[in-house]
Amino acid sequence: MEINLPMPFSYLTETQLTELSLTELKGVGDKVADKLNRLGLESPKDLLFFFPFRYQNRCYLTPFSQLVVESEALVKGHISALPDYTPSRQRFKKTFLCEIQDNENRRLRLRFFNFSSYQIQRYQIGAQVVCYGTISFGPIGLEMHHPEVSFIEDEEDIKLEYRCIYHTTDGLAQSTILKLVHQVLSIFNTSDDMELLPAETVDYLKLSSFKESIQFLHQPQININFSALQDKQSRYHQRLIIEELVANQISVLEKSFSQKNEQASFQISHQENPIQQQFLTQLQFNLTSAQYRVNDEISLDMTQSQPMHRLVQGDVGSGKTIVAAMAILHAIEADFQACLMAPTELLAEQLFQNLSLWFEPLSISVSLLTGKTKGKNRKELLAQIEQGECQVLVGTHAVFQEHVAFAKLGLVVIDEQHRFGVHQRFLLRDKGVNQEQKESCSPHVLVMTATPIPRTLSMTAYADLSCSIIDELPPGRQAIDTVLIPQARREKVIERIYQACQQGKQAYWICTLVEESEVLQCQAAETTFNELHESLKEIKVALVHGQMKATEKLEIMSQFKQGEIQLLIATTVVEVGVDVPNASLMIIENAERLGLSQLHQLRGRVGRGSVKSACVLLYSEKLSEVGKKRLKIMRETQDGFVIAEEDLKLRGPGEILGTRQTGYQKMKIADLMRDQHLIPEAQNIAIKMLKHSPENSKQLMQRWLGDVKQYQNI
Ligand code: ADP
Ligand code: MG
């Protein structure tokens, strides 16, 4: 490999590498820089921290007799057979096939699609080649498709190595990334004092140094065990993993320390509250004791001079909305505004309806702000928010936009937090800092989630929150019968819906797709709607999906709630929060495509009333054994904690923490799930560092999290 030694500068520090433009590197023009940006790389320093996500083991030549289908291998042989067509006819051929033989006279076919005649010029009988690729079964034996081929003269030409493989983007070759990373390594001033972890920690944990670790990850020596490298268990990986976890812990701890100095926007003098009393008497049911307990915990927080930062965990249907409403009433009583955020428009609309219904008799004004609130309405609403006339605002992400300014925001409630990113929470909270009192006070923050979070993970993502649990469902709830049915028996399911609707019951039919594309989802739902509408002529069927107008959706949901619609075909827009107690049958199509927690959320839409409910998980014929096992978990338990644990094992923490959208949890080398066991140690180190070496702490955050200031503002 040729290493480009860049010339005008040599030996730059980490900070200098951050300030240097990518285009200063040899071989990087605007186009390549654009592609690097697309990978999230902004400066040469980012390249240093852009670690290979896997390695290829090119350390030994596998004899053909030991090749294993579907695994990658490095092989050596000579070309023993070539296709018999003449070059002129070649243009019409799509595949180029040639055969190589090893010393034991075993054969392997190399297959290329879309090749140019130039590329195959060098393929001559007898030529020695070394190939790397994945082995597969072909019509007459083992094959390698599109192997990387090098022609060799001499055994010594064979380079045995662990090859780094980086994530990349269209048009950016692995070799380009590799060269650039090597280039940056070669100008990186390794003599600089880069060791930021305390020396005693490095000694005690027997960590390799920062410098050798970073070099090793990009240029691994072949003297270590390959699986240790691949599984990121090498001591060099471990060293960087722990460092990244420490950096994250420092940032979370700092955040929670700075909270201790914050001033709450309001403070209640005693936990009793006349509006709350009035609200409770108008409710048609009593709170569960768990709801009372959590309400007490929230009220107690609000008697403090620092703002509340509380996470309420409660399974689907445990009644978190009422708890939020009670907290909002504290803000209203103190003459402050409250804001309730939902992850989807449909949920925001529904929360808006619920709160309006509850709060109207108490003469409290409730408004709705979503991306669909436009024009004059939006302008008027924004003015009301700014002037404090709007007391309770329910909204979606639109509320995060900069021009929404509150007069006196006292409380922020975030429903279904797992669907939001951590950053968004901070962003919204900062809206409470009002203009005159800048920085001096912050609103109370209440975060609600139906997804239980394992402790080590919450130490990272929610270290700044106290936690309450609603561990009791309202009385009279019955368990939901869950059954797994293959697509082939769809007709039977449709018949079952017919019977249920004849008995006055209501049903959901959920359409799912793997693609994130909302448009495709909606199309699928429309097709299903047409089909069911056709086969269930006597039943009132309607469709709701994310592409419909807000007013249309609202209208259909309210008709469904009033029983005018019997069967609702929906996309996963109804996943969170939707509450129609009379609906007691739920069909989920292609259930195997969804995560377990998502299925649990969907299933939680039924079983809300007093009748026995059922949930049918329709799965495709091709379902694997593992897939079946996963769905069986849904049949066996209705415990959100058990389901979340399983989901975590299967899908990793990004889904659970709801950080997919923001990239916040996208760590450079650590993996919260895999490296959970290191988090407590990382926290200890972080505490020590914050106390004894604040300067290094800051630099460590800078190293792993980028611009610290920017990070803290969002
Ligand atoms: P989630 O925790 O999933 O957000 P909701 O707040 O939507 O649950 O409540 C689910 C349903 O249970 C709603 O219809 C709500 O009115 C009802 N509910 C809440 N608390 C109680 C209670 N203590 N007794 C009876 N029903 C309740
Ligand atoms: Mg809810």
Helix (H, G, I), strand (E, B) or coil at 661: coil
Residue nearest to atom 4 of ligand 1 (CA): 320
Query: What is the number of the ligand closest to the CA of 321?
Result: 1
Residue nearest to atom 18 of ligand 1 (CA): 319
What pLDDT band is residue 427 in, cutting at 50, 70 and 90?
low
Tell me which residues have their CB closer than 6 angstroms to ligand 1: 285, 287-288, 291, 314, 316-322, 450, 474, 577, 579, 581, 608
Provide mean pLDDT across the span 667-693: 87
What pLDDT band is residue 91 in, cutting at 50, 70 and 90?
low
The strand pairing partners of 111, in sequence order, are 97, 145
What pLDDT band is residue 596 in, cutting at 50, 70 and 90?
confident
In whole angstroms, give the CA distance from residue 652 to residue 714.
24
- Classify residue 56 by its DSSP letter: E
Provide mean pLDDT across the span 418-434: 53
List the alpha helices (DSSP H) in 205-344.
Answer: 210-218, 226-230, 235-260, 274-282, 289-302, 320-333
In whole angstroms, give the CA distance from residue 459 to residue 686.
12
Q: What is the pLDDT of residue 655?
A: 46
What pLDDT band is residue 6 in, cutting at 50, 70 and 90?
very low
Q: What does residue 662 show for φ and ψ, rounded to 5 degrees?
A: -95, -20
Most informative mutation of 313, 321, 597 for ligand 1 (most atoms within 8 A of CB): 321
Q: What is the pLDDT of residue 475?
A: 87
Residue nearest to atom 23 of ligand 1 (CA): 287
Question: Residues 511-529: pLDDT tens digits?
Answer: 886 555 666 767 778 888 9
Best CA proximity match to 177, nearest among 25, 332, 346, 389 = 25
Provide mean pLDDT across the span 448-467: 72
Query: What is the number of the ligand closest to the CA of 606?
Result: 1
Question: Residues 614-658: pLDDT tens digits?
Answer: 999 999 877 877 788 889 999 999 888 788 777 666 655 544 444
In the chain, the amino acid numbered 133 is G
Atom of ligand 1 nearest to the CA of 287: 23
Residue nearest to atom 20 of ligand 1 (CA): 319
Give the DSSP H or E segment for 682: helix 679-692
β-strands 392-395, 337-341 pairing:
parallel
Q: What is the pLDDT of residue 8?
A: 47
Question: Residues 335-356: pLDDT tens digits?
Answer: 999 999 887 777 888 899 889 9
In whole angstroms, give the CA distance from residue 506 to residue 614.
11
In the chain, the amino acid numbered 368 is L
In whole angstroms, give the CA distance from residue 446 to residue 309.
6
Q: What is the pLDDT of residue 1?
A: 42
In whole angstroms, give the CA distance from residue 585 to residue 562.
16
CA atoms within 13 A on the CB side of 599: 32
Atom of ligand 1 nearest to the CA of 321: 6
Atom of ligand 1 nearest to the CA of 286: 23
**Same CATH fold assignment for domains 264-470 and 480-637:** yes
Q: DSSP string of 221-252?
A: -TTS-HHHHHTT-SHHHHHHHHHHHHHHHHHH
- Classify residue 61 by its DSSP letter: B
Atom of ligand 1 nearest to the CA of 323: 6
Residue nearest to atom 25 of ligand 1 (CA): 474
Q: Ligand 2: distance of its center to the CA of 599 in Å?
A: 15
Q: What is the pLDDT of residue 349?
A: 84
In the chain, the amino acid numbered 120 is I
Structure tokens at 186: 């070669």
CB-based contact 659:421 (threshold 8 Å): yes
- Domain 60-159 sits in CATH at 2.40.50.140
Residue nearest to atom 12 of ligand 1 (CA): 319
Structure tokens at 682: 């990382």
In whole angstroms, give the CA distance from residue 417 to residue 425.
9
CB-based contact 413:446 (threshold 8 Å): yes
In whole angstroms, give the CA distance from residue 273 to residue 268.
9
In whole angstroms, give the CA distance from residue 596 to residue 635.
11
Query: What is the number of the ligand closest to the CA of 604?
Result: 1
* Burial grade of 265 (CB within 10 A; 0-12, 13-18, 19 or more): buried
Radius of gyration in angstroms for the set of CA atoms belonging to the chain, rounded to a whole number? 30
Best CA proximity match to 583, nearest among 555, 556, 611 = 611
The residues, any chain, with a CB within 8 Å of residue 94's CB and separated by 6 or more, are 113, 114
Question: Residues 68-79: pLDDT tens digits?
Answer: 988 899 999 999
The residues, any chain, with a CB within 8 Å of residue 122's CB and separated by 6 or more, are 151
CB-based contact 295:287 (threshold 8 Å): yes
Atom of ligand 1 nearest to the CA of 318: 2
Between the two ends of the chain, the Cα-to-Cα distance in Å is: 42
Question: Residues 130-148: pLDDT tens digits?
Answer: 999 999 998 889 999 989 9
CATH match for 264-470 among 3.40.50.300, 3.40.50.620, 1.10.287.130, 1.25.40.10 = 3.40.50.300
Longest Cα–Cα distance in the chain? 93
What pLDDT band is residue 66 in, cutting at 50, 70 and 90?
very high
Is the pLDDT score of 32 beyond 70? Answer: yes
Our CA angle for 711, 53, 227, nearest 5°, is: 130
Query: What is the number of the ligand closest to the CA of 283?
Result: 1
Residue nearest to atom 9 of ligand 1 (CA): 319
CB-based contact 22:42 (threshold 8 Å): yes
β-strands 613-619, 366-369 pairing:
unpaired
In the chain, the amino acid numbered 204 is Y
Structure tokens at 331: 């803000």
Q: Ligand 1: distance of its center to the CA of 31 in Å?
A: 54
Q: Ligand 1: distance of its center to the CA of 339 in Å?
A: 20
In whole angstroms, give the CA distance from residue 298 to residue 500.
42
Q: Ligand 2: distance of its center to the CA of 577 in Å?
A: 4
Cβ-based neighbour number of residue 529 at 10 Å: 21
Strand order in the sheet with 567-570: 480-486, 613-619, 583-588, 506-510, 567-570, 541-544
Chain-centroid distance, C-alpha 266 = 34
Q: In the CATH hierarchy, which fold is given to the domain comprising 480-637?
A: Rossmann fold (3.40.50)
Query: What is the number of the ligand closest to the CA of 348?
Result: 2
Most informative mutation of 282, 285, 557 for ligand 1 (most atoms within 8 A of CB): 285
Q: Ligand 1: distance of its center to the CA of 577 in Å?
A: 10
- Considering 257-266, 412-421, 427-436, 536-545, the range whose residues carry the highest mean pLDDT is 536-545
Q: What is the pLDDT of residue 657?
A: 47
Q: Ligand 1: distance of its center to the CA of 533 in Å?
A: 32
Question: Residues 372-412: pLDDT tens digits?
Answer: 788 899 999 999 999 999 999 999 866 666 678 899 999 99
Is the pLDDT score of 273 beyond 80? Answer: yes
Atom of ligand 1 nearest to the CA of 322: 6
Q: Ligand 1: distance of its center to the CA of 473 in Å?
A: 8
Query: What is the number of the ligand closest to the CA of 320?
Result: 1
By the CB criterion, residues less than 5 angstroms from ion ligand 2 are 577
> What share of the chain has pLDDT > 90, as a percent?
50
SS (H, E, C) 342-400: CCCHHHHHHHHHHHHHHHHHHCCCEEEECCCCCHHHHHHHHHHHHHCCCCEEEECHHHH
Q: What is the pLDDT of residue 651?
A: 58
Q: How far is CA 643 from CA 595, 649, 651, in A?
A: 10, 10, 12
Atom of ligand 1 nearest to the CA of 354: 16
Domain boundaries, the chain: 1-52+169-184, 60-159, 264-470, 480-637
Atom of ligand 1 nearest to the CA of 476: 25
Q: What is the pLDDT of residue 418?
A: 59
Atom of ligand 1 nearest to the CA of 314: 2
Is the pLDDT score of 714 beyond 50? Answer: no
Provide mean pLDDT across the span 600-610: 85
Torsion region of 20: left, alpha or beta (phi above 0 gives left; psi -120 to 50 gives alpha): beta
Most informative mutation of 318, 326, 470 for ligand 1 (most atoms within 8 A of CB): 318
Chain-centroid distance, C-alpha 166 = 20
Residue nearest to atom 27 of ligand 1 (CA): 474
